[in-house]
Amino acid sequence: MADEREDVYSKAVRAGKRTYFFDVKSTRGKDLFLTITESKKHTNEDGSATYEKHKIFLYKEDFDKFMDGLQDAFSEIDRLKATGDFQQSPPARTEDAPPSSGSKYGDVEFDDLGGSGH
C-alpha cells in the first residue's frame, strides 16, 4: 500500500451549499478511524466555485464517547424543540467534564489532545 491509510467506506451527504463526507479509513496496522469533512461551496464573482473544507479525525478509542456526546446533543435539540425553551442553561455536568471556570466552554486541557499517537 503506497499510502499509510486505506479507504474502507465513504458516504457523502449533500445539504444545500454544504456537503458532509464520512470516510472510514484503516491504518497500516489495520485500525479503523473516521474522518468527517464539511465542504462548503462559495461562488466567486466570475462564476467560478471554490470550496472551504473543515475536517476532523475520529479515532477508534473515541468512538463511544463521540457517539454519546452526539446523541446527548441531539436529545437536547429534540427537548428544546418540543418545549420551545431556547434560553441558555448551564450544560449538564458529567463525570468526565471538568467544572466550569465561568467560560461557557469550561476548561480545556490541550495536553490531552495529543495523546492518541496519531
Whether pLDDT at 103 is above 60? no
Residues 6+ apart with CB under 8 A from 79: 85
Please compute the mean of the pLDDT values over residues 76-82 and round it to a whole number: 93
Tell me how far the alpha carbon of residue 83 is from its chain's centroid. Answer: 26
Q: What is the per-residue pLDDT for 6? A: 86
* 22-69 tens-digit pLDDT: 999 999 888 999 999 999 998 999 999 999 999 999 999 999 999 999
Q: What percent of the chain lies above the pLDDT cut of 90?
A: 57
Determine the Cα–Cα distance for residues 93 and 84; give it in Å rounded to an integer.
Answer: 22
pTM: 0.62
Show the domains of the chain with their CATH numbers: 1-83 (3.10.450.700)
Q: How many C-beta atoms surround the C-beta of residue 40 within 10 A? A: 14
Q: First-to-last CA distance in the chain?
A: 18
